[in-house]
Amino acid sequence: MGPLPGKPLSSDTLEGVARIVTLVKWTVVAALVMLGLVYAIEDLRIRHAASASPGSQTETLTFYYSTRLKNGRVQVYYDQPQTEVCVRALFPHVGRRPCWYARREPVRLVS
């Protein structure tokens, strides 16, 4: 049962809350460090593979532009296919989007 209104929290309760806050802070820091490590290792892998055999870590995807018409419909310009070079990775690298993300938008809306 929680403390009664007007009764201060005990020191044991405050220590428990402080431990939980500290644990959450360390968990967030550890997650950010892990993301940074994954990004750095992935970047080194991509740069090394690109220098050893150019084009081994990239793909060329085809996509189409579309525009919204005044009546609310979308017109896709299939006669003008575009290409994008993407990188095989979890995160964007070297100014290129990851292929798993680029494949999700085969038709891109232009305003």
- Does the pLDDT value for residue 9 go beyond 70? no
Closest CA to 104 of 57, 55, 74, 63: 63
Task: Output the pLDDT for position 69.
Answer: 93
Q: Give the mean pLDDT of 97-104.
A: 92
C-alpha 24/C-alpha 30 separation (Å) is 10
DSSP assignment of 51-111, as one string?
HHSTTTTEEEEEEEEEEE-TTS-EEE-TTS-EEEEEESSSS-BTTB-BHHHHTT-SEEEE-
46-81 confidence digits (pLDDT tens): 889 888 888 788 889 999 999 999 998 999 999 989
